[in-house]
Structure 1
Amino acid sequence: MAYMSEFTQARLIFDYEAGRAALSEALPDFASHPENYGGAIDLPIGALATVFRVKEAAQEKLWLKLSTIEVPDRVELPPIEPNPGYEGPEVAIASARIILPASGRVNETVEMVLEGPSHGNPFTDVELQAYFSLNGEEIRVGGFYDGNGRYVVRFLPDTAGAWQFRTESTARSLDGHTGTFSVEPSHARGAVRVADTYHFSYANGEVFRPVGTTLYAWTHQGPELQKKTLATLSTSPFTKVRMCVFPKAFIFNDNEPDLYPFEGESGNWDTTRFDPAFFQHFENRIRDLGKLGIEADVILFHPYDRWGFQDLGAAADDRYLRYVVRRLAALPNVWWSLANEYDFMTTKMPEDWERYAKIVTEEDHARHLISIHNGTRIYDYSASWATHCSLQKVDYYKTAELVEDLREKWGKPVILDEIGYEGDLEYEWGSISAEEVVRRVWETTLRGGYHTHGETYYHPEDQLWWAKGGELVGKSADRIAFLDKLVAESPTGRLEPLPLTNPTPSGGVAGEYEIHYNGFSQYRYVTLGIPEGRKAVIDVIDTWAMTIETLPGNCSGRARVELPVRPYMAVRVRVQQESL
């Protein structure tokens, strides 16, 4: 038998008399009237304890009581091993037709296609992998079945040269292929990597600044809405999109998608058979983002589900992960997010997330960025597999103000992937004013972090940008673009936090390019110090009006800068190269 814990779903706890008693003591209002709290009853009790601010001592007492309540063990189906006898000895080794381009290009996808067998269940019976080598180094790349006897291996080469390959497979016709193909130099930027500890760059060294937006279920909408979303993105400042593989069931998101990841139907999915059309569609949308210069932050699991995708079982989860990573890893503009709000998923334990991370990193030969996103409990980003921190606010008031501490704590880039959404819903997370979104974005950026936008204005047809895409109607996106242009004009294309003399932040390149942000404060003037023996150009910036007023002449020494008495102003200092 198993026992309850902080990860147990609140709904399940109500089924036991001892559980109801424990909840009544720790969370009396919720225990008396759970119907007043919407879908909270479907969350893990640990998440609820955090949301309802249960004191730590009371939480420990609750966990102790729950640990004495037995619940039935979860029944897990065993993994399905590939079939070594899938093809008999009458089938010649390496007899499948292979299609491979004569040459590829650095940092661009190379696709190998093999036309092979389709009997039985190729998704589980057949294991296919290729080994690519150059100068003695060999890289394993897993293949996948794409339906209709079509097997695919996708490779993202990072070096020019004459690459060799060989295949291994449980299907004789796919096994033992060898050959050579040429990879030519290119100007493609490639996958994004961590750079200079807290920042990002493309594989070719070019600076990348993640200016994110949220489009959880945009690929699960109709073709016209997807087309409209891409058109909006093409004129937006956004360089990263958070998007789910699985469809999403949540408020304003009740429609059924046209495609599902598995054969079957809701509640009766055949998790041993993927629907290639679903994944072909999904990866085509990622390619569309790539053409716009936008990274796809692919969310692999999430809790907002009425189809059963968050509770497939360990074997099915692992099979799904290997399949999706093998399909997408060779696309340059992919990031991995193990989950959105991982701690709201009652079917996953801490050890599951570590196992998932191991599978993703094993199968991803291109070494894309990978993280996990929290609901109420921040993940321990000291995990070696986590390349960066993907966070949402966990305090109603403080969000961006914590960025510097978080950078120092984990020594990794910090992205506030949910700072609150500009909108007018009845929910705290979806009713932030544009002014407050812009303030949080400025605070985050000048403290050395990055951010992700979202928009949740009510729409009579439930077309909210944050879920379905369409068109932007808010006021923050243009002002985010304005800020990003100022960051791009820095000598490094980035901002580092500068030592604080005020509660409001300053960022830039010390002594060269500095931006001082006033936030809520409405100073009549500020006094700035220019490096000794240097002159500087001073700009007064209205971050809301998006205006820049350059003061006449050059300043030196201690410079007093007069300001309009209103909030959200900033001052930029551009130190000149020549000396006095």
Structure 2
Amino acid sequence: MITYLKTLSTFCFALLLPFIGSSQSKIFENPKANTVIECQQWEVIDLIFPVNKKVKAPFEVTATAEVTDGTRTQQIPLFYNDNGTWVLRYSSAIIGEKSFVITSELKGLNGKKGKISISENKKAERHGGIVLNENNPQHLFYEDGSHYFNLAFECDWLFALDYGEKDIAKTKHLLSLINEYRFNQVVMNVYSYDVSWPKDKRLAEHPEHEYGGREDIFPFLGSNSKPDYSSLNIDFFKHFDKVISEMHDQEIVSHLMIYVWNKLVSWPEMESEADNRYYDYVIKRYQAFPNIVWDVSKEALHKTRATAGYISERIERTRNLDSYDRLVSVHDYGFCRNHADEVDFISMQNWQHTLYQNMLNARNDFPNKPIFNIEHGGYEESPYVVFPGAYANAEVCLRRNYMCLFAGGYTTYYWQGASWNALIHNPFEQPDDFEKPHFEYFTHMQKLFDTAPFENFEPNARYNGSGYNLTNKKDGIIMMYTPKENHYTSAKVQISKEFNYENATQQWFNTITGEFTPKEKYKMVELGFWDFRPWRYEADAILIIRNLKPKN
């Protein structure tokens, strides 16, 4: 049985307020102590407790629910939600009967009790939170034991898409596209203000796509230009609830970056009362969601505001508050490298042409940690030049994602029309002269790994030859990634030394179209480079050899 490093105390907690459509969570107003609240495994519920007394500093009120099933106990912080109400947001990976009692200095909350019954999950595509696996430490898994093929989509301004609207129709549309094309994670900010670099003049002609610089959106009182740090803006978080809840409904993980230093945000002073209030509130409010992965900050040590000591303190703060033990990382490879024992996976940001080797080196340096390249400098072009980075051509960006995978790590896709302040939620409904994204390339990528379990592969640079090698001895598969300029690639030397291949088959996979050639019997040819590989000069391709039997 798989043993997890981070998941034994898996009661999950959930959302609030009546939401629209599929974004609605189960709400229980002032539940009675003798009422058994029913929900499914990994479903998020909100238990709302009104307090009929004016509280002077509600965000500073400490209220904790002790939840137990008689064997395991969980200490879950409640959060204030305006109008004299506190919320116990809950979810659970453990089926069975639970009871809870609230402890607080506030008499209206102290001693509140209740019961919760968790039944088996009935949603086929729901697998629980993201966890580590001590038997396979360089890969990510769901709580039910299935592999989580982390394929992320950067969308920093997702929080702003429908802000101030009655529903979140645009958010739902974009998330549905992300889901349809089989991305399963969004790398996102809780809040960003604007970019500091030049903006494409064409963006001014389409204000419906500009989300930077909005003064009506701010997690504190006031605005980003005139901040009032005396309290938090509950309406901001009520809207954000809808976004995270919709992501959970669509089984999309939120890689949630709590801060960002290079997007012109007027943050309060480090470790001030206002800073701690904001940070703690985010952890309290969203920890119950199984689809949460914490990231202390985007560009964590990029600006002078943050220090390594401050980031370490925020990590410790997260672990002390998060009763679900969600995974934690930091968007800064230097920090992760120097503080590997503090993070659950290594986050990289690497633009170099030698990306594959850099990823491989990181994997070798941290044999007990998953490696996730959040930003590899490939930002696919869009109707606007938002941030060109180092690579903008769609096929080159795709190749860099495969370089991460074939080095044994996970990867992130950027489209300039959705990653930053320019946010086109419906790209395929734009005029013909608008540059459309190639989301389909990543659907093909997922299709490939549906047939070849990524969690059982290891990069084998010794046998790269003219491509990149991934070897899966457990299932008897070798894959050789071949750039379209390459005339030839082969696994001949490796197979002759390590495998019996009497029943082996081979076929090719086109990374651009998703096409597989028919399987044929594998033949070890002495001078195979005399035979042209398919799609030469047209598309990068992957040679897949199956049904190999290890000699030892």
Same fold (TM over 0.5): yes
Q: SS where residue 468 of structure 1 aligns?
A: coil
Residue type of the alignment partner of 1:398: T
Q: 5+ unaligned residues in a row in structure 1: which ranges?
A: 1-95, 458-462
Corresponding residue of 2:107: 172
Equivalent of residue 391 in structure 1, options 323, 329, 348: 348
Report the CA distance shift for 1:172/1:436 in structure 2 as closer, same or farther (over 3 A): same
SS in 2 for 1:271: strand
Partner of 1:142: 77
The equivalent of 2:389 in structure 1 is 429
CA contact (8 A) 1:518 1:570 kept: yes
What letter is aligned with 2:439?
A
RMSD over aligned Cα, in angstroms? 2.9
Amino acid at match of 2:247: L
Tell me by how many angstroms 1:474 deviates: 4.4
Tell me if the contact between 1:220 and 1:257 (Cα under 8 Å) persists in the aligned partners: no
Structure 1 stretch displaced more, 276-285 or 97-106: 97-106
Q: Deviations for 1:505-556, whole angstroms, at most 9, x for unmatched residues?
A: 211413712210123651246363373253112112332343221254x225
1:445 aligns to what? 405
Residues 232-381 of structure 1 aligned to structure 2 (within 5 Å): 232-250=177-195, 251=197, 252=199, 253-256=211-214, 258-266=216-224, 268-309=226-267, 311=269, 313-374=271-332, 377-380=334-337
| Residues 201 and 551 of structure 1, relative CA distance in 2, 3 Å threshold | closer
Match of 2:131 in 1: 193
Q: Which amino acid aligns with 1:526?
A: S
Bigger Rg, structure 1 or 2: 1
Aligned-partner residue type, residue 470 of structure 1: H
Residues 528-539 of structure 1 mapped to structure 2, 5 A cutoff: 528=492, 529=495, 531-532=499-500, 534-539=502-507
Quote the Cα distance in structure 1 between the aligned partners of 2:260 and 2:389: 17
State the Cα deviation string for residues 7-39 of structure 1 (Å, max 9, x = none).
xxxxxxxxxxxxxxxxxxxxxxxxxxxxxxxxx
2:421 and 2:516 map into 1 onto residues whose CA distance is 31
Cα offsets for 1:372-395 (capped at 9, x unmatched):
112x845336433311112211x4
SS at match of 2:65: strand
How many Å separate the matches in 1 of 2:525 and 2:519? 15
Does structure 2 conserve the Cα–Cα contact (< 8 Å) formed by 1:389 and 1:412? yes
Q: Which residue of 2 aligns with 1:159?
A: 94
The whole-number CA distance in structure 2 between the counterparts of 1:221 and 1:356 is 28
Do the aligned residues in 1 keep the contact of 2:193 with 2:214 (CA within 8 Å)?
Answer: no
8 Å CA contact 2:501, 2:548 repeated in 1: no
User: CA shift at 1:428, angstroms?
Assistant: 4.8
Conserved 8 A contact 1:441-1:480: no
SS of equivalent residue, structure 2 residue 373: strand
Please give the residue correspondences for 1:98-117 in structure 2 after superposition, counting only pairs within 5 Å: 98=31, 102-117=37-52
CA distance in 2, matches of 1:427, 1:147: 38
Query: Where does residue 150 of structure 2 map in the other structure?
Result: 210
User: For 2:477, which of 495, 504, 513 is the aligned residue?
Assistant: 513
Moved more, 191-200 or 218-227: 218-227
Q: CA deviation at 1:129?
A: 0.8
Contact 1:262–1:273 under 8 Å retained in 2: yes
CA distance in structure 2 between the aligned counterparts of 1:177 and 1:214, rounded to whole angstroms: 41
- Counterpart of 1:53? none
One-letter amino acid matched to 1:412? K
Any conservation in 2 of the 1:122–1:145 contact (CA below 8 Å)? no
AA at the equivalent of 1:400 = Y
The 10-residue stretch of structure 1 (128-137 or 306-315) with the greater mean CA deviation from structure 2: 306-315
**Matching residue's letter, 2:280:** R
Whichever residue aligns with residue 504 of structure 1, its letter is: G
Contact 1:455 1:466 survives alignment (8 Å): no
Change in CA separation of 1:102 and 1:283 when aligned onto 2, cut-off 3 Å: same
Aligned residue type for 1:156:
S
- 1:68 match: none
- Amino acid corresponding to residue 479 of structure 2 in structure 1: I
Q: Per-residue deviation at 1:396?
A: 3.3
Distance 1:513 1:538 in 2: 10
CA apart distance, 1:492:
6.0
Note closer, same or farther for the CA distance 1:328–1:304 as it changes in structure 2 (3 Å cut).
same
Q: 1:227 to 1:419 in 2, by over 3 A?
A: same
1:182 to 2:117 alignment: yes
- Cα distance in 2, alignment partners of residues 380 and 527 from structure 1: 33
The letter for the 2-side match of 1:409 is D
Please tell me the residue identity of whatever aligns with 2:344.
Answer: T
Cα distance between partner residues in 1 of 2:454 and 2:330: 28
Higher relative contact order (CA 8 A, sep 6+): 2
How far did residue 112 of structure 1 move? 2.2
Contact map agreement 2:46 2:88 (CA 8 A) in 1: yes
SS of residue paired to 1:548: coil
Q: 1:201 is matched by which residue type in structure 2?
A: F
How many residues of Structure 1 are paired with residues of Structure 2 in the alignment? Answer: 476
Question: In the alignment, does 2:422 pair up with 1:456?
Answer: no
- Describe the SS at the equivalent of 1:547: coil
1:419 maps to 2:379:
no
Report the CA distance shift for 1:288/1:482 in structure 2 as closer, same or farther (over 3 A): same
Q: Which residue of 2 aligns with 1:219?
A: 159
Supply the distance in 2 between the matched residues of 1:225 and 1:135 (Cα, whole angstroms): 44
Give distance in 1, aligned partners of 2:548 and 2:421. 42
Could you tell me which runs of 5 or more consecutive residues in structure 2 were left unpaired when the two chains were aligned.
1-28, 163-167, 200-210, 428-434
- State how far apart, in whole Å, the 1-side matches of 2:482 and 2:550 are: 29
Q: Displacement, 1:480?
A: 2.0
Deviation of 1:493 (Å):
5.7
SS in structure 1 of the partner of residue 108 of structure 2 = helix
Residue type of the alignment partner of 2:191 = F
Q: What is the identity, as a one-letter code, of the residue corresponding to 1:215?
A: C
The C-alpha deviation readout for 1:423-454, integer Å capped at 9, x for no partner, is 26385516521121111111111111110000
d(CA) in 1 for partners of 2:376, 2:470? 19
Residue 174 of structure 1: CA displacement? 0.7
- The residue type equivalent to 1:230 in the other structure is L
Identity of aligned residues (%): 18
